[in-house]
Amino acid sequence: MDAIKVDALTKVFDGFTAVDAVTFKVAAGELFGLLGPNGAGKTTTVNMLSTLLAPTSGFAAVAGHDVVREKDRVRRSIGVVFQEPALDGKLTGRENLEFHAMMYGIGKAERRRRIDDVLGLVELEEKAKTLVENYSGGMKRRLEIARGLIHRPEVLFLDEPTLGLDAQTRRNIWDYVRRLNREGGVTVVLTTHYMEEADFLCGRVAIMDHGRFAAMDAPSRLKDVLGGDVVSLEVEGDSAAFAAAIRSFDWVRTSKIVDGVFALTMEKGERRIPELVRTAQNAGVAVRCVHLRKPSLEDVFLHYTGRTIRDEDAGLNERNRAMLRGHGRR
């Protein structure tokens, strides 16, 4: 069964189309990523799927329930970790978790066990009795993630779950999300603008830009579109024979030679390097260094949208324009 089914989902704010007729499906048990820069419409999509925003048009169902007509059933099936903090600063960390667990109807003994569990996971046991208003940004983030896991939802939405976290905590959270997905069978939908996060975690990624999906597939297949790995060889000596040998390999997709550096694209580059080095030696050239580069989702994003995801200026202008348009209408 599809955990999520979305058909031509659209959200318009004051004449600005934040999400533009997006269509996709997520199978149960998938770890699905929405990858895109700030303002791409990822959060708006999550807000619609989690019943917090009414769609302008289109259809969406989560865990088999219509997000407009069966809000309560949808809410029962999902967990959400929001991008912005959604904590009560006047309560302690543990009290925030208790509030959540009780809202989801978890009994007392089970509640205590699960809260201890998740507090351990995000390493906040010692701060559990501190008011959340005294937490640092990273601690709040960790507490929120802990909270999203307490009630073990069918579908878990993580909106930029590791934004602003240190490498260590990020790694822990990745591991936990992955375990939750694989062992717990939880369908996870995650938004991120971190390429490596989408690449590491997600089975399938949708690249989102300007409210639309530019591409959607497994990260490895998205990267394949770019022609595979790039192997660069820097050689010394007369390379004409070597160049001829390379042209005879049908697994070399493209080759470029600049200043004695051969840049070749191929699949599974790491497995071809020994053969390339052998060929070079047979052709009488010395290999000085070999470099293998796997294409990243960053390259994929650039390929589909014509800009890099960290192009903060572009993103900012985009948002300013959107805001100005919004104000103009009011």
Partner 1 sequence: MVINTTAIYVLWLREMKRALRARSRVVGSLAMPLFFLAFLGLGFNRMAVPGMTGGVKYIRYLVPGIIGMTMLFTSVMGGLSVLWDKEFGFLKEIMVAPVSRVSLVLGRIAGGATTALIQGILILGLSTVFGFRALGPAAYLLAFVFMILVATTFLGLGLIFASRMKDMQGFSLVMNFVVFPIFFLSGALYPLGNLQPWVSFLSYVDPLTYGVDGIRGALIGVSVFPVAFDLVVCSAIAATMVALGAYFFEKSEAV
Q: Residue 311: helix, strand or coil by DSSP?
A: coil
Residue 187 found at the interface with partner 1 (CB under 8 A): no
Residue 72 found at the interface with partner 1 (CB under 8 A): yes
Dist CA 245 CA 240 (whole Å): 9
86 or 292: CB nearest partner 1: 86
Output the CA angle 305-307-309, nearest 5 degrees: 95
82 or 213: CB nearest partner 1: 82
147 or 170: CB nearest partner 1: 147
Please, what is the minimum distance in Å from the beta carbon of residue 46 to partner 1?
10
Residue 53 found at the interface with partner 1 (CB under 8 A): yes
Q: Report the length, in residues, of the chain.
A: 330
Please, what is the minimum distance in Å from the beta carbon of residue 48 to partner 1?
10
Work out which of 45, 51, 187, 191 binds partner 1, going by CB under 8 A.
51
Dist CA 292 CA 115 (whole Å): 45
86 or 218: CB nearest partner 1: 86
User: Following DSSP, what letter does each residue of 96-161 receive, concatenated?
Assistant: HHHHHHHHTT--HHHHHHHHHHHHHHTT-GGGTTSBGGGS-HHHHHHHHHHHHHHT--SEEEEEST
Dist CA 25 CA 3 (whole Å): 8
Residue 146 tokens read as 């802990």
The pattern of x and - marking residues 80 through 109 that bind partner 1 according to CB under 8 A reads: x-x-xxxxxxxx---x--xxx-xxxx----
Residue 21 found at the interface with partner 1 (CB under 8 A): no
Residue 5 found at the interface with partner 1 (CB under 8 A): no
Query: Hey, CA dihedral for 282, 285, 290, 294, is it positive or negative?
Result: negative
52 or 245: CB nearest partner 1: 52
Please, what is the minimum distance in Å from the beta carbon of residue 24 to partner 1?
21
Q: From residue 84, give the alpha-carbon distance in Å to each of 43, 219, 269.
A: 10, 27, 41
65 or 272: CB nearest partner 1: 65
- Give the interface with partner 1 as residue ranges (CB under 8 A): 47, 50-54, 72, 75-76, 78, 80, 82, 84-91, 95, 98-100, 102-105, 131, 147
